[in-house]
Structure 1
Amino acid sequence: MTTSAIPFYDVVQIGYGPVSEIMALSLARQGHKVAIFERWRERYALPRAVCIDHELYRVLSALGMSQQLPAVSHAGPHYKWFNAEWKELLSIDWESESISGGPEVNFVHQPTLEKMFEEVVQARPEVTLNLGWEAVEATQTADYAQLVVRDTESGETRTVRCKYLIGADGANSLVRQAIGSTQEDRGFEADWLVIDVLPNEGVTLDIPPAAQYCNPIRPTTIVPAGIKDGRYFRRWEFMRLPHETAAELEHEHVAWDLLEPWVKRDQATIVRHKVYTFRSLLANTWRKGRMLIAGDAAHVMPPFMGQGMCAGLRDDWNLAWKLDLILKGHADDTLLDTYQPERRPHVSDVIDLSMFLGKIICIPDADKAAERDEAFFSGKVPPPPAFPSLTDGILRRDADGAVQAPAGLLSPHGTVRSGERQGRFDEVVGLGFVLVSRGSAPSLGSSQRAFLDAIGAKRVVVGNIAARGTLIDVDHKYLPYMEQHGIQTMLVRPDFYLYGAVANARDVNGLVDDLAADLKRHGVHVQAEQSEQAPQALAA
């Protein structure tokens, strides 16, 4: 094959799971040419992940799926942890109103969710999908990344090149190996039998909506498993005990024996039963040159917070706006140096939170379980850590270099009204950088206005009183949030996190200048004098 015959793409992705699908969609919507290579010819038909949190529900809506999501998801219930006597140890309110609007967590049937993803992705002409092609070698030069793939049936090999290669290729990632990344093992490891069940038509099961039954005789998880065609799936997970083998747990009669207290054979169908090893692994290097990793290739965690897929989709959303600027020539690839510092600490905290919860239930010893129960009931156990925010990267800092609160917090999302138009903030305002002010517009200098225009930033005012240029805070999301954090004006990044905020309108120009300096420091080229043409080009 001659060099000229080698296909060249903006981005090549290995793997075709949800992380790869959403990465491809995010890039394709911005006009970038993407090729995906997946070794399997048929999609894995069984569910794995069962929920998406409010932040990712907002992301998927922003990517054009707001109308389809309600049909493939349902609000999560209270998530409760019980001891062997069904006394409550811990409760996590998944059905409460979130900062992003809607419940904290929505449950999904992953094959149905992925089918929706696939339909949206395959409608994009920018995406070339190659099923049945296994990635066998990944290399790079200063000018391109190169991937060799092999047809799993014929053995034929092909070579493709790209500006960037993303390994969304799972826990055994070829790309992670190619960039020489080691993994940090946080030490959590437990085998669990996962059983997905579809109750028969008309059957109502007398079970907790979502629970961890922390019984040392058999630690058990009971949670929703999503909806398909109006029917709700359920999931049970049973911890493998020390005297058992994984192989014996995978017999169907064993699955039914374990399910017996909860659901009878004539009440439901087992959709899947398989033993999985829950681990806690975190890659030490997420990028080398033109190669990057995302999703399970970068991190693996216990499932007790339902954050495995969510963490991978956050990787996508963080990368998408940065790659867009680079691929359009508006930034150097040094901007990608912020990917790992922003995502790794965040997902590290999520892993720690998942392990904190996992260690509550993964106790097959009666005496240790009794000690755990006493610690909870006596108040000796601290509450679970708060869900993390960004702590590094493109965030406003003080004179000493420390991140300046409230930078790094996730911004709110709610319904707003402008004149006769009412809708969700992202739909009304649009995506990209947004300068949000409370009550009245700040006085911006000409250079600050030119810079905001050059990066395509929207400038909005939120309030309770209808006035020209003011968005009415219909859901009361923005004003209480800004009051709580002492914010008069906040600068929101394209991935919905706060770059920074000020308490006084007179400090807004300094906030904008800091963002300009930070973006320049990280390789973003801003031509403020071309502001009339630049906003559309730079908008994320």
Structure 2
Amino acid sequence: MRQTIPPVVDVLLVGLGPVGAAAANLLGRYGVRTLAIDRATDVFMAPRAIALDNEALRILQMAGLEEGAFATQAIAKVQMRSPLLGRYARANTAGHVDGHPRLVTFYQPELERVLRARLAAYPNVQLALGVELTDFTEQEHGVLAQLRLADGQCATVRASYVVGVDGASSFVRRQAGMDFHGKTFAQDWLVVDARDVPNPIDHIEFMCDPRRPTPHMPAPGGRQRWEFMLRPGETREQMERPESIRALLQPWCRPEDITIERTAVYRFHARVVNRFSRGRVFLAGDAAHITPPFVGQGLVAGLRDAANLCWKLAWVVQGRAAATILDSYDTERRPHAKSIVRLALWMGRLVMPRNRVAALLIHGLMSLTQRIPATRSYFQDLEIKPQNRFGRGLFKAAQRGARLVRGGMLPQGLVRRGVGQPIVLSDDALGQRLALVGFGCDPAAALDGWRRVAWAQVGGVIVSFQPRGQGALGERDWEDLSNTLVPGAAPVGWVAVVRPDRTVMHDGPLAEVDAVIDEALAILGAGLAPAPATAPGWKAAGPA
């Protein structure tokens, strides 16, 4: 049967890998009319990404995935070993941050299937598989895109915006003329994914042998992964032969006793696009940046892109904010993506020193830093990881008296409506809207009538988090069971404006709530700029 392609949408999403599928769910939750296309007709079944941190799990929570929606395995530690020095470094990844494990492994095909299945709940999102974007032209009020359908026929769709999440070789990026800066490393790696491996490990190990560095890690379903660095002169064809793989796996297991799911040789890259958007075209995930695998942040960075971009697109197409807020996507995301790539490159130098002398120097220095209290936590407690905190962007610049980190994430804790009521994570209490949050106070009581109306018109809600044991709770109140929010994040009598991606936009004392709202509305361009212009027949979607 011929596929039915809607003639007009708010967002054309190109690519349905894990980042694209997460973005489609976010747009679905925000009520944005979305057409999501992919050239493939099904999920690519070979595992690729394998690690997620607490930030990625929190974004998947925003996209509607509850705990247990897909299988994960918590990783308590990451160890680095040297044949010369033994274990010379360790990172502690046990415990939870913002309601999620600090580090887990997972099976990518399962995550993609779950994300795609959840899209059926959103009538405003349409999937079109086996469909390829062949051309697009940006016009005054949108983008005219040409599609080739699975049956070979062509179709045209008008979109207010196009988002390219179509991978490292992105057609969207090339067609939009965005430059991809960085380098390709002249170093190949063989990845081996296997199931039913005896004596499974419960942590991640980097065997930093200069002769052949080898990361080794577990994954759900009795899976394990090895990554073997190829030596000079070794070829893809040679290393993917069964006898070569048997020889490489011999120190860990008998290859005939396990089930090998994938073997593949890849060459890693470190690249970041010169700008994450051009006009009405945006890039996310590997289309915008490629990260070496040594810190497990490639997919995580792509999910951060989706969380940052999707709510902004929703607020613009629904007339709740000025189109100028979309410029903040590049301002906020590109510097952080570059910092993650730099960290991965640095870690790569630790993992694969070129000779024994370099290995002894590098690993010896790392071992020394683990013994010095002043430097131990830098690596062991993951302080080395760049925080997802913006220097500039869509928030009120920090000033004296601010209690929360503007441009940083609001902490997440466990809350409930009252004794005997279900316990939920606080992001779920905030929902998919802008939130005016009161810490131990009700901002609505101090807000005048027209500001309450203006706040509702820009998709804002009012929520109050009360200390544990407060007693009677009002209709907007949630009891903070973990003391994460009040007094953990802010003192009683404080208010904050929190974006749908959980970034703090503004904060201040309750007595200044009118000014906080006025400045937040100005940041959004609400009431200061007309709603986005639309061409005839291009009707903007209503509020979600």
Coarse TM-score class (shorter-chain normalised)? 0.7 to 0.9
Change (3 A) 1:454 1:375: same
1:243 is matched with which residue: 197, 214, 233? 233
Which residue is equivalent to 1:490?
Answer: 496
Answering whether residue 168 of structure 2 is matched by residue 166 of structure 1, we say no
SS in 1 for 2:177: coil
Q: Deviations for 1:171-227, whole angstroms, at most 9, x for unmatched residues?
A: 111111122111221675632111101015xx323x4621111111210101123x2
**Whose relative contact order is higher, 1 or 2, with alpha carbons under 8 Å and at least 6 apart?**
2
Of 271-280 and 462-471, more deviation after overlay is shown by 462-471
Local SS of the residue matching 1:162: strand
1:222 to 192, 213, 216: 216
- In the TM superposition, 1:342-421 aligns within 5 A as 342-379=332-369, 383=379, 384-398=384-398, 406-419=405-418, 420-421=420-421
Q: Secondary structure in 2 aligned to 1:351?
A: helix
Is the Cα contact below 8 Å between 1:411 and 1:497 reproduced in 2? yes
Q: Which amino acid aligns with 2:489?
A: M
Native 8 Å contact 1:395 1:498 kept in 2:
yes
Q: 2:521 aligns with which of 512, 516, 519?
A: 516
* Pair 363,57 (structure 1): closer, same or farther in 2 beyond 3 Å: same
What is the correspondence of 1:30-429 to structure 2 with a 5 Å cutoff? 30-66=30-66, 68-69=68-69, 71-85=70-84, 87-98=86-97, 100-151=98-149, 155-185=152-182, 190-199=187-196, 203-205=198-200, 207=201, 209-225=203-219, 227=220, 231-379=221-369, 383=379, 384-398=384-398, 406-419=405-418, 420-421=420-421, 422-429=423-430
- Structure 1's 97 and 404: CA in aligned 2 closer, same or farther, altered over 3 A? closer
Deviations 1:309-350 (A, max 9, x none): 121121111111111112212233222111111111121122
Pair 1:474-2:481 in alignment: yes
Which range is displaced more, 493-502 or 466-475?
A: 466-475
| Matched residue type, 1:215 | D
Q: 1:386 to 1:429 in 2, by over 3 A?
A: closer
Change in 2 beyond 3 A, CA 1:94/1:140: same
Quote how far apart the aligned CAs of 1:155 are: 4.3
TM-score normalised by L of structure 1: 0.87
Residues 282, 298 of structure 1: 8 Å contact kept: yes
Residue 290 (structure 1) shift? 1.8
Distance, in Å, in 2 between the alignment partners of 1:21 and 1:221 is: 28
Amino acid aligned to 2:88: L
The corresponding residue for 2:534 is: none
For residue 367 of structure 1, what is the amino acid of its counterpart?
Answer: V
Matched letter for residue 124 of structure 1: Y
Partner AA of 1:125 in structure 2: P
Q: Secondary structure at the match of 2:326?
A: helix
1:19 counterpart SS class: helix
Secondary structure of the 2:96 match is coil
Would the aligned equivalents of 2:29 and 2:432 in 1 still touch at CA under 8 Å?
Answer: no
Q: List gaps (5 residues or longer) in structure 1.
A: 527-535
1:33–1:398 distance in 2 versus 1, CA, 3 Å:
closer
- Residue 148 of structure 1, CA deviation: 2.0
Is 1:22–1:313's contact at 8 Å kept on the other side of the alignment? yes
CA distance in 1, matches of 2:93, 2:42: 34
Say if 1:343 and 1:188 are closer, same or farther in 2 by CA, change over 3 A. Answer: farther
8 Å Cα contact 1:249-1:255 kept in structure 2: yes
State whether residues 330 and 524 of structure 1, in contact with CA within 8 Å, keep that contact through their aligned partners in structure 2. no
Distance 1:508 1:38, change over 3 A: same
Aligned position for 2:505: 499
Work out whether residues 33 and 126 of structure 1, in 8 Å CA contact, stay in contact via their aligned partners in 2: yes
Change (3 A) 1:386 1:43: closer
Deviation at 1:405, TM superposition (A): 6.5
Contact 1:176 1:286 in 2 (8 A): no
Compared with structure 1, are the counterparts of its residues 172 and 181 closer, same or farther at alpha carbon in structure 2 (3 Å cutoff)?
A: same
Find the aligned partners of 2:99 and 2:170 in 1 and give their Cα distance: 35
Q: CA deviation at 1:49?
A: 0.8
Amino acid at match of 1:444: A
CA distance in structure 2 between the partners assigned to 1:352 and 1:462 by the alignment: 41
Letter in 2 for 1:128: Q
Q: How does 1:525-540 map to 2 (within 5 A)?
A: none
Q: How far does the alpha carbon of each residue in 1:214-261 deviate from its partner, in whole angstroms, 9 at most, with x for none?
A: 111210101123x2xxx2211111112233223322223212211111
> What's the offset of the Cα at 1:6?
8.1
Q: In the superposition, relative to structure 1, how do residues 277 and 340 fare at CA in structure 2: closer, same or farther (>3 Å)?
A: same
Query: Between the two proteins, what is the percent identity of the paired residues?
Result: 29
Counterpart residue type for residue 222 of structure 1: H
8 Å contact kept, 1:191–1:240: yes
Q: Residue 138 of structure 1 contacts residue 148 of structure 1 at CA under 8 Å; is this kept in 2? A: yes
Three-state SS of the structure 2 residue aligned to 1:276 is strand
Counterpart Cα distance in 1 of 2:238 and 2:18: 31
* Partner Cα distance (1:61, 1:441) in 2: 26
What secondary structure does 1:212 align onto? strand
Aligned AA for 1:55?
A: E
- Are residues 487 and 500 of structure 1, via their aligned partners in 2, closer, same or farther at CA, if it must alter by over 3 Å? farther
**Aligned residue identity for 1:27:** L
Structure 1, residues 455-492: CA drift from partner, whole Å, max 9, x if none?
32323133133233453321232235326x99943322
1:523 Cα offset (Å) = 7.0
TM-score by length of 2: 0.86
- Please state whether the residue corresponding to 2:233 is helix, strand or coil: coil
How many residue pairs get aligned? The number is 512
Residue matched to 2:469: 465
* CA–CA distance in structure 1, aligned partners of residues 93 and 85 of structure 2: 20
- Residue deviations 1:141-192 (CA, integer Å, cap 9, x gap): 112212223346x643333221111111111111111221112216756321
User: Contact 2:322 / 2:526 at 8 angstroms: preserved in 1?
Assistant: no
- RMSD value, Cα: 2.9
1:390 Cα deviation after fit: 1.9
Secondary structure in 1 matching 2:255: coil
CA offsets per residue over residues 61-106 of structure 1, 9 Å max, x none?
233221542x5223222112222246333322222221x1131122
Deviation of 1:134 (Å): 2.5
